[in-house]
Structure 1
Amino acid sequence: MRTQPGANGTAVTEFILLGLVETPGLRPVVFALFLFAYLVTVGGNLSILAAILVEPKLHTPMYFFLGNLSVLDIGCITVTVPSMLGRLLSHKRTVPYAACLSQLFFFHLLVGVDCFLLTAMAYDRFLAICRPLTYSTRMSQTVQRILVAVSWACAFSNALTHTVAISTLNFCGPNVINHFYCDLPQLFQLSCSSTQFNELLLFGVGFMMAGTPLALVVTSYIHVAVAVLRIRSVEGRKKAFSTCGSHLTVVAIFYGSGIFNYMRLGSAKLSDKDKAVGIFNTVANPMLNPIIYSLRNADVQGALWRVIKGRWSLA
């Protein structure tokens, strides 16, 4: 561990990330699996983006938000996985202090935007099903851009707040992180100064960043469910629910893994379960999203097929 003189003894200048496995023989397997997952995720999300761009049927607010979500998924997995793969290749597990904080900032920035975009998508479904007569005016291109811009602004403020707050903590050693990327719970465990303020900040800001959007998503879908149940046609109900099912699945996975990860700060020791949740947050979610959104959507499937075959339909 390299240290430098600090105000309270020594200050850590780098961290050691243990990664997912410590057995040398398993590292090539982990490398192959995560490289495959990364390529599938990037390829899948780029395919969704291409389908949205070339298919006029998909030039709607819902798919505008889905396209932005695909960009975020690519960014989220790129923040964590390539650096992990690089460490596996080089057999070096050290990460400079500044690089660790940078990774934390960009991860929380992208996840924060993701959180707000999922809320915007729920609002879009609410307007489309419950307020169809005013949908085009309430969800105009201007409104869509404002929602995306506000999402980025709020997420940036949240990420910057946590990064600045964590930078005020003292790290005097140990500097070993039992994870494959830098995140708040793991850094809290290593700090030799009080993290009470940081934990309160995480809970407080987390409630505004995640609790409020989740409440809005639930409220939107309660209204959607009531409206759909009033539809007399079985086919009509099935079609309405199918447009919401994919989004609800993504929301459940996103918030479920996030709540488990950040609501366990009081535990004495972070375990391998946190690595599994980290895989869900950084790898599984971005990889599953394009699959979930395309499985039950004939328009997306058709557009993807045309992209794959190189038939760029402009009709």
Structure 2
Amino acid sequence: MNRSIAAATSGSNRNKGVLLLACAFGLLSALLVFAFLNSRGDSKNVDGQIFAGEGAETVVVLTRDVAVGEKITSDMLATRTIPATALLPGRVKDSELSTLVGKVATAPMFAGEQVIDAKVTTYVGQDTLAYKVPQGMRAISLQVPHEAWIAAGLPQPGDRVDILGITTLSKVDPLTGEEKPNVVAGYIAQDVEVLAVAQTVVKTVPKVDGASGSGGGAGTGSPASSATSSGAVKQDAATYEKAISITLALPPDLAAKVALIDAMRDDVGQYRILPRQKGDADPITGKQVWTYDDLFPVR
């Protein structure tokens, strides 16, 4: 009986010894593989070996978050090997890293994100109004004789507004010869971008590289909607009660209609700027033109 117990104990010890020896050889193999990979380059190369596969590429990524309008510096950039299935269109390859330094972000970017061409530009401070006007639009400035015409001067560059036109003319009844007021109010344009109030323009970082232009697109029809310029930067809180002009982005035909109202005497033609809620781009439904008879219907 004692002999059997001793034999079992001896077998168990041998199994433990074999297991420990196998673990030691496994650890040694892993160390040798790591040393081999490390000998072929730095730690980045090890990362590349791990993620390498058919179609994988080494691309430029960000080391920290980057805000709109922030200039790209070398310490914001690094390279990483990305599997083919995770590569983004417009990615910047590692060999092109130096071309990014000095460019400006047109959209928010985040640490670890692949840098793509669409989110950076060679923009270096084009702050003239021409860079703010969306494609297909025209900038038109209106005189502001009363702050109430522009919602007490509260709209800011970058806001979206509707334009209401009001004309006060007169008409003669062909039967009685009586002269009656002919007051008409109607929406001339909807969802219009405010480019400037007085001398303060909307802060944007347009994409000016290649043929992409400054962003935006032409509105269609009437009422029309103008596209917001790319890379809008949050405005500082401000009001413009003493503003003497407001500049809007309008299609050429609607700009001409608004100019007609602006050219009239104040007691004949007026306009009103009606700010929209942030994100509201829906067209106005229902009746859009009113007359004096709508205000005081004949009974």
* Fold shared, TM-score > 0.5 on shorter chain: no
Where is the helix percentage greater, Structure 1 or Structure 2?
A: 1
Whichever of the two has the greater Rg, that structure is 2
Q: Which has the higher contact order (CA 8 A, sep 6+)?
A: 1
The TM-score normalised by the length of structure 2 is 0.22
Where is the strand percentage greater, Structure 1 or Structure 2?
A: 2
The TM-score normalised by the length of structure 1 is 0.21
